[in-house]
Amino acid sequence: MAATTETIEQVKQATGKYKYGFVTDIETDKAPKGLNEDIIRFISAKKDEPEWMLDWRLKAFRRWQTMSSPDWAKLDIPPIDYQDSYYYSAPKSAEKLKSLDEVDPELLATYEKLGIPLNEQKMLANVAVDAVFDSVSVATTFREELSKAGVIFCPISEAIRDYPELVRRYLGSVVPVGDNYFAALNSAVFTDGSFVYIPKGVRCPMELSTYFRINEQNTGQFERTLIIAEDESYVSYLEGCTAPQRDENQLHAAVVELVALKDAEIKYSTVQNWYPGDENGKGGIYNFVTKRGVCRGDRSKISWTQVETGSAITWKYPSCVLRGKDSVGEFYSVALTNNMQQADTGTKMIHIGEGSRSTIISKGISAGRSQNCYRGLVHMQPTAEDARNFTQCDSLLIGDKCGAHTVPYIVSRNPSAKIEHEATTSRISEDQLFYCLQRGIGEEDAVSLIVNGFCKEVMKELPMEFAVEAQKLIGISLEGSVG
Amino acid sequence: MTALLEIRDLHASVGETPILKGINLTINAGEVHAIMGPNGSGKSTMSYVLAGRDGYEVTGGDILMNGESMLEMEPDERARAGMFLAFQYPVELPGVGGMSFLRAAVNARRVEAGEEEIDQLGFVKIVREKARLLGISDEMLKRAVNVGFSGGEKKRYEILQMALLEPRMAVLDETDSGLDVDALRIVSEGVNLLRDPGRAMLVITHYQRLLNHIVPDYVHILAGGRVRKTGGKELALEVEESGYAGIDDAA
């Protein structure tokens, strides 16, 4: 049976008996291949979504159909057949392994190097955890503490059902459905993600991490995150994991939206270590992400910190729209590429508010035959009286077959705005390497030390528990890049 | 008795240019040897060849440490086997914290020796103690390796590393260059504290004044890539008086 016919049949079966295409009880746990309005109805029905959500998805899908994949980045992206993918499969609980002995030793070796505790290793590798470390109860404990503070932290699919007015008000308010090709696709077919709401005056009592959303791990390839910080609130959110994650989906197109109201602060940290493909560029994840935050209120602050070593192709520009008076945007980034990886990444700082300030610190490391491009926009709008930006953009090359590129866009429509841009490109010097070697430090450790030194300004912005693992991750990602 | 370091008819080139043209030198444990020579005589080349730096190619002869050839060993392997080089121009490592660097070096050696890695707390204590003797402040230890250090601070930091790594064979390359009288005294005292019956030192210098502080057992004059003359500490004074002129003729 042709894929499309199969799709129609299955969707009919699933949704036929309901006038609006909603179903609450469907046996099928996988939609057929392909992407069309029926599939979107199927997804929405599967998730038991209200009608406005389905309409929103359909609107996004129709926009997406009129758009084309962006081609301005310095990336060589093989053509993607969007009709040859599955857009819905129920979170499968893969059969638990009995012990770590059954896990791929290579995976375990990497966990070991990262210093991941045994119980966490088990969890990551899908081994049944013992009673001492019951992940579900850990998650529950955290939820209780959060709800005491009035913080909402739940899967976005749950939020759509339980907090529809909040979701309707803010979803798509920062990244509109038609913002770009991948954002439109995500809006149409997103599977799940996180929803965070911090009420007025609340300082979130702990770092929120996707890690604690244990039972919601399988959010799939189209993750959607929405974080709202009300007046005078604060939240720090950690995304990702240093442990290598195996994933069958090649295309990941996530959308993250942040809203900071008056005097609120959101700190968003990411460690990304998706499968980068092999030495010859075979396989690997395409990571096409739209992340944007808006500082709506006066004196609000949004800070992006990212350490990215994974994915075959990265297309990602976490941005800040600085609308509030004296609002602050920050972007701290380490992007490391090795072997055949390609990254086109940077940020956008859109200054609208008077006295708004932004800081961009970008550290790009290229090794192997990889290509690493920083692309960043600083835009001072006419209203951005006395706004300021400082950008520092450093590239480090390892070996002589990789590339580092810097493409800054600077637009100033206000004569009182101040913009500073500093950029350097360097190599790991032979002097530095020899100095470390002469002290008895092995070559790979030496490179790791030097590269971590190069990234220090960014690493120190990471929350402590992430920073240590991220440091090791840098070393591991560079293995085999010298000598 | 096997010599700690034996250099046999050593020839080495940098690129196509032969620099060392047959050096013979035997250094026993507990001894301090000085190598003096004019600019371009091959002094620094010799230190890099001993340390195994890339680009310094041995074209003939051998270097033996405790009777075993080091020629096939990588620089880090030589270091862990006990070879230490105090650099003439210590290298800056921006962003690399001093303590993590020093600990990585010490632990690399411990792991090789089958010992346990030293933990951070215990290590900080040891470093502070040794640093105090060299007039290195806690503040300086917190900075990135050699970044923003004065010339004198860099040299003291080299000696601190030597004190921590406890090498069998220490090569000091123009440790006196760029030091004022006070700094020279501090550095020399630090080195003298490390003199030990189990350890040998090779002090490379252009000037005799360092040898007033670090008194050598033997002095060798290097010129044109060969050892032209060997004597006791008084040879350094001769050179101080009459210069290097005429040394070539003595060969």
Q: What CA–CA distance (Å, rounded) separates B237 from B211?
A: 9
- Burial class of residue B3, CB neighbours in 10 A (0-12, 13-18, 19+): middle
Examine the pLDDT at A245 and tell me if it is beyond 80: no
Mean pLDDT of chain A: 82
Q: Give the per-residue pLDDT at A481.
A: 72
Q: Which residue has the higher pLDDT, A234 or A91?
A: A234
Give me the CATH code for the B5-250 domain, please.
Answer: 3.40.50.300
Determine the pLDDT at residue A386. Answer: 97
Domain residue limits at A304:
134-428
| Domain edge (last residue) among A42, A67, A84 | A84
Answer for the pair A46, A11: CB distance below 8 angstroms, yes or no. no
DSSP symbols for A362-403? EEEEE-TT-EEEEEEEEEE-TT-TT-EEEEEEEEEE-SSS-E
| Interchain CB contact of B80 with A (< 8 Å) | yes
Residue A17: pLDDT band with limits 50, 70, 90? very low
Tell me: pLDDT of A228 over 50: yes
Is A452 in Cβ contact with B96 (below 8 Å)? yes
Task: Assess B75–A contact: CB distance below 8 Å, yes or no.
Answer: yes
3-state secondary structure A398-417: CCCCCEEEEEEEEEECCCCC
The H or E element spanning position B237 is helix B234-242
Question: Tens digit of pLDDT for each residue in A280-324?
Answer: 878 788 899 999 999 999 999 999 999 998 888 999 999 999 999
DSSP state of A92: -
Number of domains, chain A: 2
pLDDT in tens, B102-133: 999 999 999 998 998 888 888 999 999 999 98
On the question of pLDDT at B247 being above 80, the answer is no
Q: Is the pLDDT of residue A218 over 80?
A: no
Token couple for A256: 């993250």
A241: in domain:
yes
- Tell me the backbone φ, ψ of residue B102, rounded to 5 degrees: -65, -40
Confidence of residue A23 (pLDDT cuts 50, 70, 90): very low
CB < 8 Å from B in window 410-469 of A: 429-432, 434-443, 445-446, 449-450, 452-457
Q: Which residues contact A295 (CB under 8 A, 6 or more apart)?
A: A260, A301, A302, A320, A321, A322, A323, A324, A327, A328, A329, A353, A356
| Among B175, B239, B248, CA closest to B36 | B239
Distance separating alpha carbons of residues B248 and A19, to the nearest angstrom:
105
Q: What are phi and psi of A410, to 5 degrees?
A: -125, 120
Give the pLDDT confidence score for residue A343 in this predicted structure: 94
Burial of A150 (0-12, 13-18, 19+ CB in 10 A): middle
Q: In the prediction, which pLDDT does A248 show?
A: 57
On whether residue A477 sits in a domain, the answer given is no
* Domain-embedded: residue A46: yes
ipTM of the modeled complex: 0.95
Q: Do B75 and A431 touch (CB under 8 A)?
A: no
Mean pLDDT for the stretch of residues A458-476: 84
**Average pLDDT for residues A239-244, to the nearest whole number?**
66
Place of tokens 């057949």: A81
- Residue B55, token pair as written in the block: 């680009």
Q: Do residue A77 and residue A144 come from a single domain? A: no
Q: Which residue has the higher pLDDT, B135 or A120?
A: B135
pLDDT in tens, A260-279: 999 999 999 998 888 888 88
Lowest mean pLDDT among A15-24, A472-481, B66-75, B162-171: A15-24
Coil vs helix vs strand at B107: helix
Residue A89's pLDDT is what?
A: 65
Last residue in a domain, options A25, A49, A84: A84
Q: Does A105 touch chain B (CB under 8 A)?
A: no
Who wins on pLDDT, A242 or A184? A184
CA–CA dist A418, B237 (Å, integer): 63
CA B112, CA B114: separation in Å to the nearest integer? Answer: 5
Cβ-count burial of A359 within 10 angstroms (0-12 exposed, 13-18 middle, 19+ buried)? Answer: middle
Instruction: Please give the C-alpha separations between residue A474 and each of A308, A470, B222, in angstroms, as whole numbers.
Output: 9, 6, 45
Write down the pLDDT at residue A221.
Answer: 77
Same-domain status, A64 and A138: no
Quote the longest CA-to-CA distance of chain A.
75
A2 pLDDT above the threshold of 90: no
pLDDT digits (tens, 9 = 90+) for A365-417: 999 999 999 999 999 999 999 999 999 999 999 988 999 999 999 999 999 99
User: What percent of chain A is predicted at pLDDT more than 70?
Assistant: 78
**What is the predicted pLDDT for the residue at A244?**
56
Query: Position of tokens 């929803």?
Result: A195
A115 and B CB contact within 8 Å: no
Position A110 scores a pLDDT of: 65
Confirm whether A471 is domain-assigned: no
Domain coordinates of chain B in residue numbers? 5-250
The per-residue pLDDT for A21 is 26
A426 or A352, higher pLDDT: A352
Q: Distance (Å) from the C-alpha of residue B178 to the closest C-alpha of chain A?
A: 19
Name which residue leads in pLDDT, B42 or A246.
B42
Confidence category of residue A123, pLDDT binned at 50, 70, 90: low
d(CA B214, CA B175): 11
Q: Are A64 and A198 part of one and the same domain?
A: no
Q: Give the residue among A49, A428, A20, A433 at the shortest CA–CA distance from A224.
A: A49
Q: In terms of domains, do A73 and A180 share one?
A: no
Q: Pick from A398, A413, A428: which residue ends a domain?
A: A428
Q: Is residue A107 situated within a structural domain?
A: no
- A366 and A223 in a single domain? The answer is yes
Given CB atoms, is B100 within the 8 Å cutoff of chain A? yes
